[in-house]
Structure 1
Amino acid sequence: MTEPGTRGPKAPPAPARTATRPDTAPAVSGRGRAGRRPPLVLTVLASVAAALALLPLIYLGVRALERGPGFARDVVATGRTGQLLVHSVGLALVVVAASLVLGVSLAWLTTRTALPAARTWSVLATLPLAVPSYVAAFAWVSARPGLAGFGGAALVLTLVSYPYVYLPVAAALRGIDPAQEEAARALGHGPWQTFRRVTLPQLRPAAAGGGLLVALYVLSDFGAVSIMRYETFTLAIHTSYKASFDRTPAAALGVVLVLMTVLLVAAESRTRGRAGSARTGSGTARPPVPLPLGRLRWPALAWCSAVAAAGVLFPLGTLAYWLAVGNSATWEPARLLETGTTTLLVAALGAALTTALALPVGVMAARYRGRVAHLLEQAAYAGHAVPGITVALALVFLAVRYAYPLYQELPLLVLAYAVLFLPVAVGATRAAVLQCPPVLEDVARSLGRGPLRVLREVTVPLAAPGVAAGAALTFVVCMKELPATLLLRPTGMDTLATRLWTETGTASYAAAAPYAAVLVLIAAVPAYLLGRHRT
């Protein structure tokens, strides 16, 4: 993105040149270069990341076919599987639609209008990232027990996942050249026509990528649907694993979930479009002029207030209530400090590994079109829709058989985080690289720089802010992860999430409140920085 600059009072805006080419065009485009192969080292690194993401699929394949294809087919071809499919797909569709409405509307209000205290509202819009789905579900169920079921699950998952849409859409709105919208208005188009014909097509990749992350989050969520008692694939798989030593039925259900993921990724890729665009000239280095809200000012403030109250204030108020209800016997400062330190350590390691693995995949997806790059990007999304318990059992299976020294050790837990949350970092990296003008890389190559040197000296520095934002987001989701952490954590090690779940499981809500409060407080720091970074 270009930095805001100053402009003379009478200087007319100089429109930026935008290159929009189909896949077959040999010229520069925002997505990449057709006919140019990526460096071998980049392909190898991206292949390693994709192979790690596919590890759970190897486990699922072995387990699902352990008793023969016929048995797996009988497990899948039942009425219960159809019901789970309807529940999971219906929940994902509702949450994605609601998240798109919340995320796009809040992004538009906070970035393109004269909304009072827009920066504050922008930060508040990102803070639900700090609230784990199981904490939000507990807050709503404890206040309204009748909310359990589909409605409660949809409400909770929407409130905790809409920032996945808000953040990329807000970033895209800030990156759009305002001269294009001004030109459309000068040609007689009204505000709605300008938004629909000029702005919305440029927001489509960001909104589609955010919607995909929301859908994958919903399909893989365990905490919220468990507390809300709404049976989806993840809850059914978890129940099957706990109810029997036979892993085949659960593995067969997991295969169905993976197939749903493949279809979602393919649909998002088509929605993103085949053509890409990026600036090839400097254009106008100025921010857009905020649109006055007029009589819509108070409804806009009421909308932002309602979302912030439901997504942030209500869960925090519930935690404050349980903290007040508790007494000194429920507080264990030494254990709380130890658990918080451990949580920071494992989340930081998970975010670092995930970002390192995502960098080559994101660069290939943004700059090098082709079948290989497309397959590697799709493979990176495989682990995100597989339930955390399935990823954990896959890694246990592989560690016990082939790498026993890693069994119940910290590296295995960190690897599980990388497999689960690789799409979060890949999406951020891809979006950051797409924002970098490819003409700068062409200039570097014309001066004799090799592909890897261009990547190291030009692409990565330009994309660093977006990559860092993706790392912060990955850190937050690693902190909140529950099923894989419960199974893979080393003996005697607890995180804030596992302690919170343990206390909640015994209905010790006052004892669980300190761990939930510290978890939300720590996760709020990177969420706050993400909001500030986007303003």
Structure 2
Amino acid sequence: MPDSIGSQTRDDSFRMIVLMDLDSPRLARQVTVLLAALIVLLVVSPVLHLLFGVVHAPADLAGIVQTIETWRMVGRSVALALLVAFGAMALGTALAWLLVRSRVSGFMRGLLLILLVAPLAMPSYVVAFGLMAVTGHEGLLSGLWPAALRPTQLPAVSSWVILVSCTYPYTLLSVRAALMKECTTLEEAAIGLGASRRGAFRAILMPRLLPSMVWGGMLAGLYALADFGAVSLVGFETMTWGIYHRYNTAFGLADARALCVLLIALSALMILGLIPFRAAQSRTTSAVPIPPAPIRFGRWGVLLVGLAILPLAIAVVFPLVAAIGWLARSDMPGAVLHAAGPAAWTTFLLAASAAIVVPVLALPLATLHVGTAGGGSARRWARVLTPLTLLGFALPGLVVAIALAGLALRVDHVIEWTFGLPVDARLYQSHLVLLIAYAILFLPEAAGPLRATAQRVHAEQIDAAVQFGGSPLARWWRIVLPQLAPGLAAGSVLVFITTAKELPATLLLSPLNVQTLATRLWSAMEEVYFAIAAAAAIWLLGLVVIGVAIILIIERLSDANDR
């Protein structure tokens, strides 16, 4: 009897110690940091795997570097990225100036902003489909369009036009934000002293806008460097094109991995180039912004309107016209549209799964920004770990897919050799590996809105909960999580949209006989089945439009709550 009483007392004491430890802020901080570090390790695992392979087989990298074809692909990729960056800088800056400084009413200004940002939601391969289905061989305007100007005849020019039309909103949004924060006093003073408006812009405003311009242009260049869909459809042989074609050959896997390492190195150089301009962005804004007087553009207004219409036509109107036109040309448009239904349902399920999983993975990092896991040390960990999560944005989907395919095959081999693994239970080309790829690629989309909302969590409520004895978990659940809800919702919708239109990782990692709208459109375009591609494009655009509408609703509700 005494032994049983003593045993019960020891059990109760142990349970109390465990509960006290679970309720301690230090343990909560350690658990949060550990979870965030594990998520960051997941994000960097593709790069580590590829680098590990190069270290253990340096001859593969040495062999691919010594070929002329490799350097031609590198030259094309770098040239395309730089030209897209400069094109997006010029076009985005001009349109941002039009939006902020023109004599346009508030409603029309908002509508124009939505229209001009719309190309950012369009996948590059859908824009390529629109251009080819309208102006290409057997396109809607093939009889009127010169054969020498078809997209496949001018792959470099076509790639540049498509990618600039898709990426100029990066510069537009960045420069527009800088313009809205600018104080116009110096600019107006220079004009009052006799300088022309153009001279005042060059001397005063341009140096202050330059960091935002370069930031947007470099993001566009990074997008172009990683693009696979558009360049492959028009036949421009960049590094992503080379990686994909080597991966699909019997003995080209080692070459594909070596090219992936080269592409990672180029992406890293571009990211390093972004850092000083990102820092300069925060230093070049005015303390007290003064709304500028509207400018009458005169004949320049016609040019600016033309600049606004042209990329909008290429990125939005052409795909819509091509999709509707080719669907109407088919004998049974309803049947063709219905045939894409299973792919649409698969796309929805995959995108919805990613929209649930990826924001949940971003929660530990967001919690570190709140500081509820332990004061200043949590914020220090946040500063270390958060930049690493942005690697997913910089890594091409093709690189992530090839790295994860290699990891999955290695794990399958080990488990099969150790335990014996059925073919249908393998990791390679499973939904799990595909979901991991989406998590690596789209964690920045979820982490961005969550980080913004986490930094606005009211510290007074958390301090009050501490005073009343609330545990760290209870404080997080009752106070922090409800305030993170808007960022969680916005991040989920962003992940849904980007997952629905993702092509290269889905193309390489999706299970056999599983087809999404992106892969269906890709396959149809490879075989020049424009009607089938049109049906997939209509379904895909419908999903994207619904997602964008939800984001706008969330922003309106968030602004209303702030007021």
Q: Shift of the alpha carbon at 1:92?
A: 0.8
Instruction: Give the match's secondary structure for 1:323.
Output: helix
Q: Specify the alignment match of 1:351 in structure 2.
A: 355
Aligned to 2:162: 156
State the Cα deviation string for residues 346-380 of structure 1 (Å, max 9, x = none): 12322343334446557879998999656634433
By how many angstroms is 1:202 displaced?
A: 7.4
Over the aligned positions, Cα root-mean-square deviation in angstroms equals 4.3
Determine the structure 2 residue equivalent to 1:10: none
User: What is the SS of the residue equivalent to 2:515?
Assistant: coil
2: CA distance between counterparts of 1:168 and 1:266?
19
Q: 1:409: Cα distance to partner?
A: 3.3
- Name 1:44's counterpart in structure 2: 34
1:193, distance to aligned residue in structure 2 (A):
8.1
User: How far, CA to CA, are the matches of 2:165 and 2:520 in structure 1?
Assistant: 23
Letter in 2 for 1:417: Y
Match of 1:310 in 2: 314
Count of aligned pairs: 486
Q: CA deviation at 1:525?
A: 2.8
Question: After alignment, is 99-108 or 373-382 more displaced?
Answer: 373-382
- How many Å separate the matches in 1 of 2:326 and 2:160? 24
CA distance in 2, matches of 1:467, 1:200: 37
Structure 1 residues 263 and 360 mapped into 2: Cα distance closer, same or farther (>3 Å)? farther
Inter-partner Cα distance in structure 2 for 1:307 and 1:377:
34
Of the three residues 121, 124, 128, the one matched with 2:112 is 121
Deviation at 1:213, TM superposition (A): 3.6
Q: Counterpart of 2:504?
A: 483
Structure 2 distance, partners of 1:457, 1:104, is 44
- Aligned counterpart, 1:106: 95
Q: In the superposition, relative to structure 1, how do residues 400 and 74 fare at CA in structure 2: closer, same or farther (>3 Å)?
A: closer
The answer as to 2:404 corresponding to 1:402 is: no
User: How far has the Cα of 1:468 moved from its partner?
Assistant: 5.0
- Tell me the TM-score normalized by structure 2: 0.72
Question: Greater helix share, 1 or 2?
Answer: 2
Of 227, 231, 241, which residue of structure 1 is paired with 2:237? 231
Instruction: Indicate the residue corresponding to 1:29 in structure 2.
Output: none
Contact 1:326–1:510 (CA under 8 A) maintained in structure 2: yes
Identify which range, 506-515 or 108-117, moves more after superposition: 108-117
- Residue identity (%): 32
Distance 1:99 1:199, change over 3 A: same
Q: Which residue of 2 aligns with 1:242?
A: 248
Distance, in Å, in 2 between the alignment partners of 1:64 and 1:193 is 53
Gaps of 5+ in 2: 1-27, 138-149, 413-424
TM-superposition CA deviations, 1:266-286 (whole Å, max 9, x none)? 11112112784699x9x89xx
Give, in angstroms, the shift of residue 201 of structure 1: 7.4
Counterpart of 2:515?
A: 494
- 1:341 match: 345
**Whole-angstrom distance in 2 between the partners of 1:109 and 1:458:** 43
Unmatched 5+ stretches in structure 1: 1-37
CA distance in 2 between counterparts of 1:344 and 1:151 reads 34
- Using a 3 Å threshold, how does the CA distance of structure 1 residues 494 and 386 change in structure 2: closer, same or farther? same
CA contact (8 A) 1:75 1:249 kept: yes
Task: Compare CA radii of gyration and give the structure with the larger one.
Answer: 2
Greater mean alpha carbon deviation, residues 230-239 or residues 129-138: 129-138
How many Å separate the matches in 2 of 1:517 and 1:360?
A: 37
Q: TM-score, normalised by structure 1?
A: 0.76
How big is the shift at 1:261? 1.7
Aligned-residue offset at 1:458: 8.8
Q: Which amino acid counterpart does residue 81 of structure 2 have in structure 1?
A: A
Letter in 1 for 2:245: T
Equivalent AA in structure 2 for residue 163 of structure 1 = P
Instruction: Report the counterpart of residue 291 of structure 1 in structure 2.
Output: 294
The Cα of 1:74 is off from its aligned counterpart by 2.5
CA displacement 1:6-52 (0-9 Å, x = unmatched): xxxxxxxxxxxxxxxxxxxxxxxxxxxxxxxx955554343223211
Question: Aligned ranges for residues 127-146 of structure 1 at < 5 Å?
Answer: 127-142=118-133, 143-144=135-136, 146=150
Distance in 1 of aligned mates of 2:476 and 2:205: 30
Partner of 2:45: 55
Distance in 2 between residues matched to 1:130 and 1:485, nearest whole Å: 18
